[in-house]
Chains A and B, each alone.
Chain A
Amino acid sequence: MTAVATSKDGSKAEAASSRTPIVFIPFVLGVVMLIGYFVLPFINQPELGATTIPLLTANRDNNELDVITNGLRLLWLSGVVVTALGVWSIYEPRVDRTVSVLTVIGGIVALTYYVIFYMDYRAEEATFFSSIGIGFWVMIAAAVLMIVQVAVPRGQPAKHFEVQYMLGNQETVLILGIVALLVIVGITNPRFLAERNLLDVLQGNAYIAVAAIGMSVVIVTGNIDISVGSLIGLLAVISGRLVVNGAPVIIAWTLPILIGIGVGAFIGALVAYLRVPSIVVTLGMLSILKGILIIWTNGERVTGMPEAFFLAQQRYLGVSVPIWTMIILTILAAIWMRYSQLGRSLYAVGGNAEAARLSGISPRTVVLQAFMINGLFTGVAAVLYATQFQVIQATPPPSLELFIITAAVVGGVSILGGVGTAIGATLAAILLNMIRSALVFINVSPFWIQAVQGTLILVTVLADLLRRRRQRQRG
């Protein structure tokens, strides 16, 4: 303990002096990448217009070019990320080693783009190397440098900033998984990177991510909720029926959320105060909610909602509402779970309810509130689900609850309670859905998709488990 403390103090004192030139490498490379991206059209020869961004953007309707513009976005993204990492590295030199590893990923993404670009050129039977402008050469060089720079010798970072420690986070692993998926599937079939596809994947499944955050709150306290699927189905129909029967759109959006909180409170009260195991309560609620849904709808879909109702189809700043909701709720939940009193209490109760009680936390209140928060997130998820298509199905997607629980678990939430984050849950939901979409793009037979997905889930869970155990052994 003392050793760690002294080394921390020591490295803090070093921090100012250890701002060696190496620290600036990622920042410089990121800036070069961004300059290359923005200046590209001007330094290229105008007659080779096909390589310039404005022309590509002007032809956005063309699907083939869509691939290239999306590739360019990839380039832009990698530039921004690497620049941001570079700023972090300058601000906090001790993370230098981690940043250098992450910068490699930026380089790989950038090079991926060139592979896609090259393939596209070859398809059009043009000579890639004659038509490429100086801007591209600069950027290729930057990308290669991003990968090579990892070999530069560096000082020993503080324990907290060691590469292994950083990579030991489930969140980092998930991000790496998503990047790897984008790169591998993107090279096999560039259409996967098409903006429309990626947005579809994010947008169509944002509600799963939102529900997975709520689920992770519940699982962190050592409980579980297997009724979310039915609840989402029911709340979605309530929302649709309300607006069809003339209720204002605002009511149709907010009432399901309130009902969700109410149902959460009911489940939470049974679990916390009457001490019925959560798996039993929610198993019962699963049947009850599903039954109500089927009887009430009679299996009929809800249609004829007014245009204003479709919240999930609206866009702000070019990004659709579900994606905004997902991002904002993830950030809020992450901050709340990490810093608020109740947020920390969730972990305390999940880790050891008796110890939490003796430290003056009321486990009952915490569990009740956890279920209410889950109800809130389920309500939001239901509204997103209800407003995304012109019809609301009478039955929610089959095994939705299992998918949501899987997302929470793959996101690093321990089913035994006490561990897990909101960001992990969201990333896992994104990764799982991306895998599903990617399998279509690499021509896996639709009949085998579920089997492949099941295997991948199993592998992820096992990897997480083994990694966590190794971490524990290391201490």
Chain B
Amino acid sequence: MVATEKPKLITAPTFADRLRNLALSQEGVLFIITIIAILLLSTQNENFLTASNLLNQGRLLAEVGLVALPMTYIIITGGIDLSVGSIFGLCAIILGFSWQEWGFPLPAAIALALFIGGFAGFVNGIFIVRVRVPPLIMTLATLALYRGLALGISEGSSARGFPEWFFTLGQGRFMDVPTQIWLLVIFTVISGVILATTTFGRSLYAIGNNETGARFSGLPVDRYLLMIYTFSGLMSGLAGYIFVSRVSTTRSDMGTGLELDVIAAVVLGGTSIFGGTGSITGTVIGVILIQLLKNGLALSGVTSDATIIVIGTVLILSILVNRLLENYKAA
């Protein structure tokens, strides 16, 4: 990042150069760490590196993964969305209660939940864009607000007893692979391609690097920001729906702390919290690494509480290593 600013001799990079750059990029470092982690963990427990375990882990990471995609977009623009966990909970509650209490047909309830998710994200976006509230503050306020709405609507009770077909997404399989993994893969590929190749995707980097500059270059900054925050709400809603489908019940405290998991995964994946850099590939590796660490350590007999220490340490260390590598590359 720093290196590209220096004037360079115009020579085509050799294969060795490219390989070196790839290995030194955040994604590269992370990928290597992931491989090492997998190897280490598989020596600890024979059940770790089995297809059934890995697929099961895929099921568990789908929700975080789905929310991490728009979060990558948002963090690339230099913003942040802390309200995802609350939107997640709000949508779960809306789904359960519009079906059970308000008598909506279930498909309509699902649609309503997704709509509310998108709308909640839109509200974040419209204030950030029109009133110019810093995203951190705006989403901090809506974190409290949306969670409060979830709590108020549900009044602390939960909905359950969904019909069988409802669980397809959360518990079913398609071609022997959990359904939500298909969904996650499709969304990941689409968001990755959009971010890497389209004008929209590249504009996000421009906004993150220099918002004023992007504005003066004629990019529709406001519209793009509004779109990604709405997208974030929508995906949080979808993740909420998948979660309800997976655990068969709704509770108003669902998704508490989800924002931290998601942001940790995105930042671990090499997206700079200051904006301007990052990729979907990195985010995917970040999400996978965190889930594998959780699972692998659990299988090795480490309690689930201890794993959050490891995740925190990995998060700090990976950014630290990245910083040092940057300095090394710049030198």
User: Footprint of B on A, CB under 8 Å?
Assistant: 224, 226, 270, 274-277, 279-281, 283-288, 290-292, 294-295, 398-399, 402, 405-406, 409, 415-416, 445, 447-455, 457-458, 461-462, 465-466
Which chain B positions have C-beta within 8 A of A447? 151-152, 154-156
Q: What does the 1/0 interface line of B50-91 toward A look like (CB < 8 Å)? A: 000000000000000000000000000000101000000000
Q: Which one of B134, B147, B260 lies within 8 Å of A415 (CB-CB)?
A: B134
A454 nearest in chain B by CB position: B145
B308 touches A287 (CB 8 A): yes
- Most chain-A CB neighbours within 10 Å: which of B144, B154, B156? B144
B310 nearest in chain A by CB position: A291
Report B266 CB to chain A, min CB distance, Å. Answer: 10
CB within 8 Å for A281 and B316 given contacts A451-B149, A462-B131: yes
- Most chain-A CB neighbours within 10 Å: which of B143, B267, B273, B315? B315
B134 nearest in chain A by CB position: A415
Which chain A positions have C-beta within 8 A of B147? 450, 454
Report A288 CB to chain B, min CB distance, Å. Answer: 4
Which chain A positions have C-beta within 8 A of B138? 461
Which chain B positions have C-beta within 8 A of A399? 143-144, 256
Cα A454 to Cα B138 with chains together (Å) = 11
B309 touches A276 (CB 8 A): no
Cα A283 to Cα B263 with chains together (Å) = 9
Cα A457 to Cα B133 with chains together (Å) = 13
Report B26 CB to chain A, min CB distance, Å. Answer: 12
Report A224 CB to chain B, min CB distance, Å. Answer: 8
B313 nearest in chain A by CB position: A288
Which chain A positions have C-beta within 8 A of B316? 270, 276, 280-281, 284-285
B267 nearest in chain A by CB position: A280
B311 at the interface (CB under 8 A from A): yes
A450 touches B152 (CB 8 A): yes
Cα A291 to Cα B267 with chains together (Å) = 20
Contact sample, A vs B, 28 pairs, CB 8 Å cutoff:
A274-B320, A276-B316, A276-B319, A276-B320, A277-B272, A280-B316, A283-B264, A284-B264, A285-B312, A287-B309, A287-B312, A287-B315, A291-B308, A295-B309, A406-B141, A415-B134, A447-B151, A447-B154, A448-B151, A450-B152, A454-B143, A454-B145, A455-B145, A457-B141, A458-B141, A461-B133, A461-B141, A462-B133
A283 touches B140 (CB 8 A): no
Report A251 CB to chain B, min CB distance, Å. Answer: 26
Cα A276 to Cα B274 with chains together (Å) = 11
Which chain A positions have C-beta within 8 A of B320? 270, 274, 276
A451 touches B143 (CB 8 A): no
| Interface residue count on the B side (C-beta < 8 Å) | 48
Report A403 CB to chain B, min CB distance, Å. Answer: 9
B28 at the interface (CB under 8 A from A): no
Which chain B positions have C-beta within 8 A of A275? 323
A409 nearest in chain B by CB position: B137
Which chain B positions have C-beta within 8 A of A452? 148
Q: Which one of A226, A406, A409, A445 lies within 8 Å of B152 (CB-CB)?
A: A445
Cα A226 to Cα B267 with chains together (Å) = 15
B305 at the interface (CB under 8 A from A): yes
A406 touches B140 (CB 8 A): yes
Report A364 CB to chain B, min CB distance, Å. Answer: 14
B305 touches A288 (CB 8 A): no
B151 touches A451 (CB 8 A): yes
B123 nearest in chain A by CB position: A458
For chain B, residues 262 to 277, give those with C-beta under 8 angstroms from any C-beta of chain A.
263-264, 267, 272-274
Q: Which one of B82, B148, B256 lies within 8 Å of A454 (CB-CB)?
A: B148
Q: Which one of B131, B142, B274, B310 lies within 8 Å of A465 (CB-CB)?
A: B131
Which chain B positions have C-beta within 8 A of A283? 260, 263-264, 267, 312, 315
Main secondary structure of the interface of B (DSSP, over half): helix
For chain B, residues 144 to 195, give those with C-beta under 8 angstroms from any C-beta of chain A.
144-149, 151-152, 154-156
B136 at the interface (CB under 8 A from A): yes
Cα A62 to Cα B154 with chains together (Å) = 39
Lowest 7 CB-CB distances: which A-B pairs, in order?
A451-B148, A454-B145, A287-B312, A450-B148, A291-B309, A454-B144, A288-B312
Cα A455 to Cα B136 with chains together (Å) = 16
Which chain A positions have C-beta within 8 A of B144? 399, 402, 406, 450, 453-454, 457
Report B214 CB to chain A, min CB distance, Å. Answer: 18
Report B96 CB to chain A, min CB distance, Å. Answer: 15
Report B88 CB to chain A, min CB distance, Å. Answer: 15
Cα A462 to Cα B146 with chains together (Å) = 17
Q: Which one of B141, B143, B264, B274 lies within 8 Å of A277 (CB-CB)?
A: B274
Cα A292 to Cα B306 with chains together (Å) = 7
Other than A276-B316, A283-B264, A291-B310, give 11 A-B pairs with Cβ distance below 8 A.
Answer: A276-B323, A283-B260, A285-B316, A287-B315, A291-B305, A398-B256, A399-B144, A406-B144, A415-B134, A447-B155, A462-B133
B303 at the interface (CB under 8 A from A): yes
A291 touches B148 (CB 8 A): no
CB within 8 Å for A415 and B137 given contacts A283-B263, A450-B151: yes
Which chain B positions have C-beta within 8 A of A402? 82, 140, 143-144
Cα A389 to Cα B308 with chains together (Å) = 29
B319 touches A295 (CB 8 A): no
Which chain A positions have C-beta within 8 A of B264? 283-284, 287
Q: What does the 1/0 interface line of B291-331 toward A look like (CB < 8 Å)? A: 00000000000010111111111011001100100000000
B145 nearest in chain A by CB position: A454
Which chain A positions have C-beta within 8 A of B274? 277
Which chain B positions have C-beta within 8 A of A277? 272-274, 319
Cα A399 to Cα B145 with chains together (Å) = 13
Which chain B positions have C-beta within 8 A of A455? 145, 148
Report A290 CB to chain B, min CB distance, Å. Answer: 6
Which chain B positions have C-beta within 8 A of A406? 140-141, 144
B260 touches A286 (CB 8 A): yes
Cα A363 to Cα B152 with chains together (Å) = 45
CB within 8 Å for A454 and B141 given contacts A280-B315, A283-B264, A447-B151: yes
A405 touches B303 (CB 8 A): no
Q: Which one of A287, A290, A409, A466 lies within 8 Å of B140 (CB-CB)?
A: A409
Cα A213 to Cα B267 with chains together (Å) = 28
A295 touches B145 (CB 8 A): no
Q: Which one of B137, B146, B156, B306 lies within 8 Å of A291 (CB-CB)?
A: B306
Which chain A positions have C-beta within 8 A of B309? 287-288, 291-292, 295
B305 nearest in chain A by CB position: A294
Cα A226 to Cα B140 with chains together (Å) = 12
Cα A281 to Cα B307 with chains together (Å) = 17
Which chain A positions have C-beta within 8 A of B155? 445, 447
B312 touches A284 (CB 8 A): yes
B273 touches A280 (CB 8 A): yes
